[in-house]
Amino acid sequence: MLTHRTANIGLFVLLAVALLVHNLWLTLPWWLFLLLPVPYVAALVWGACNIASGFYVPVVCAADTQEKKIAITFDDGPLEAYTPVILDILRQAQVTAAFFCIGDRIGGREALLRRIDAEGHVIGNHSFSHHFWFDMFGPAKMLAELQQMDRAVENVTGKRPRLFRPPYGVTNPNLAKAIRRGAYTPIGWNIRSLDTVAKDKAALFSRIKEGIRPGAVLLMHDSMEVTAQVLPELIQYLKKEGYTIERIDKLLNIPAYA
User: Which listed residue (75, 150, 195, 222) is catalytic?
Assistant: 75
User: Which listed residue (121, 126, 130, 221) is catalytic?
Assistant: 221
Yes or no: say if 220 and 72 are a contact pair by the CB < 8 Å rule: yes
Yes or no: say if 156 and 93 are a contact pair by the CB < 8 Å rule: no
> DSSP secondary-structure letter at 1?
-
* C-beta pairs of 150-155 under 8 Å, 24+ apart in sequence: 150/125, 150/258, 152/103, 152/104, 152/106, 152/107, 152/128, 153/101, 153/103, 153/106, 153/113, 153/123, 153/125
The sign one gets for the Cα dihedral 166, 99, 132, 104 is: negative
Cα–Cα dist 168/207, whole Å = 19
Q: Annotated catalytic, 221?
A: yes
Cα–Cα dist 183/143, whole Å = 10
Q: Annotated catalytic, 75?
A: yes
Q: Which residues are catalytic?
A: 75, 221
